[in-house]
Amino acid sequence: MHAHARHAINVGDLSDREGVSYTMFGVAGNTLDAMMRASTRHALTAADVVINVDLEQYGSLDWRRTSGLIAEGYRAAEGMRDRLLPLALRAKAPMTNGGAPAWPDG
């Protein structure tokens, strides 16, 4: 029924940067960041449902805080529950592995 619904999960900061670094690497990095933000904004406009995950308290080196990162993702999805449930393949899936859905075979 909803085979063509497009979902996007935004885990990035899409705000425009205020300061610009004028070094060679700074300009290159700022240029890449600007292109990535523009591409992400464009992709998000094509999605039927966008889940925005609040990751302000995390940085690029917080990979050891995976439990917290995963919890933020689940919180964001829970906040979109009313939009996501009609698109679910099954009404209820058994939960294992710390809350991650475990879909039975078949």
Q: What pLDDT is stored for residue 46 in this prediction?
A: 87
Place of tokens 């004028």: 22
Helices (H), the chain: 24-45, 66-79, 81-84
Q: What is the pLDDT of residues 29-84, one digit of tens each?
A: 888 888 888 888 888 888 888 999 998 898 878 889 999 999 999 999 999 999 88
The helix or strand, by DSSP H or E, that contains position 49, with its residue range, turns out to be strand 49-52
Q: Which residue has the higher pLDDT, 44 or 104?
A: 44
